[in-house]
Amino acid sequence: MKHVFSFIAVLAAVPAIAEENRQLDAHEHGVGALNIAIDGSTVAMEFHAPGADIVGFEYAAKSDADIAAIDAAIARLKAPLDLFMMADAAACSVTEARAELESEESHDEHDEDHKDDHAEEGHDDHDGHDDHAEDAGHTEFHAEYTLDCENPAALTQITFAYFEAFPNAKEVEVQIITTSGAQAFEVERDAPVLDLGR
Ligand SMILES: [Zn+2]
């Protein structure tokens, strides 16, 4: 009976695992997403981009070079005004910046079920994670920023130096929310200046 029970438990977990995989599978390599909310002098931004765009790989970091590439990318992503350049006249400064690498296993709450299957093979937790991530494939960088802009009326353009920093990035889908509504844009490498028309 114990065997039957665990089989049912694994089946029950499948839809949730499939759904999580769909989320990261849904990202398109070369395409990032930037959401910007402007409220008075406060500008809140959220950024997502595939690992392929930022470091050129999405497997779990193995070599020192991989780890160094991820650390360097996170450091660059923590400097939003160097990537998404606002007009000097807006006098923006960064009040908060966070960046991290998200991989599938870090969101997989059902990982414990898999570990039970492999327990006899003597893998420790660390090796198990590496193997899983290699098979799974997709990672994303995620960043959140808060800016304070002394003169928000001067926020008329954003220059995406992001494309120079990350050669694999091709496009960013931008959504801007202000008190007057929401607007969507696509900013491409060929034309990296977003005119906010305000
Ligand atoms: Zn991917």
Q: Would you state the pLDDT for residue 103?
A: 86
Band of residue 23 on the pLDDT scale cut at 50, 70, 90: low
Q: Report how far ligand 1's centroid is from the alpha carbon of 143 (Å).
A: 17
Pairwise CA distance, residues 44 & 177, whole Å: 10
Q: Would you state the pLDDT for residue 18?
A: 47
**What mean pLDDT is predicted for residues 165-174?**
98
Q: Report how far ligand 1's centroid is from the alpha carbon of 35 (Å).
A: 20
What is the residue extent of each domain of the chain?
2-195
Q: Report how far ligand 1's centroid is from the alpha carbon of 57 (Å).
A: 8
Q: Report how far ligand 1's centroid is from the alpha carbon of 134 (Å).
A: 12
Q: Compute φ and ψ for 87, nearest 5 degrees.
A: -55, 140
Pairwise CA distance, residues 42 & 38, whole Å: 6
Answer yes or no: is pLDDT of 120 > 50.
no
Q: Would you state the pLDDT for residue 114?
A: 46
Q: Report how far ligand 1's centroid is from the alpha carbon of 24 (Å).
A: 7
Answer yes or no: is pLDDT of 146 > 80.
yes
Q: How far is the CA of 67 from the CAs of 62, 100, 106, 174, in angstroms?
A: 7, 13, 17, 29
**What mean pLDDT is predicted for residues 25-41?**
92
DSSP 90: G
Q: Report how far ligand 1's centroid is from the alpha carbon of 93 (Å).
A: 32
Q: Report how far ligand 1's centroid is from the alpha carbon of 136 (Å).
A: 9
Least confident among 20-24, 50-54, 145-149: 20-24
**What mean pLDDT is predicted for residues 90-117?**
72
Q: Report how far ligand 1's centroid is from the alpha carbon of 29 (Å).
A: 6
Q: Report how far ligand 1's centroid is from the alpha carbon of 7 (Å).
A: 30
**What mean pLDDT is predicted for residues 7-30?**
58
Q: Report how far ligand 1's centroid is from the alpha carbon of 48 (Å).
A: 12
Q: Would you state the pLDDT for residue 137?
A: 78
For the chain, the average pLDDT equals: 81
Answer yes or no: is pLDDT of 189 > 90.
yes
Pairwise CA distance, residues 59 & 57, whole Å: 6
**What mean pLDDT is predicted for residues 89-109?**
84
Band of residue 180 on the pLDDT scale cut at 50, 70, 90: confident
Band of residue 182 on the pLDDT scale cut at 50, 70, 90: very high
**What mean pLDDT is predicted for residues 138-152?**
96
Q: Report how far ligand 1's centroid is from the alpha carbon of 165 (Å).
A: 19
Q: Report how far ligand 1's centroid is from the alpha carbon of 47 (Å).
A: 16
Band of residue 198 on the pLDDT scale cut at 50, 70, 90: low
**What mean pLDDT is predicted for residues 169-176?**
97
Q: Report how far ligand 1's centroid is from the alpha carbon of 148 (Å).
A: 33
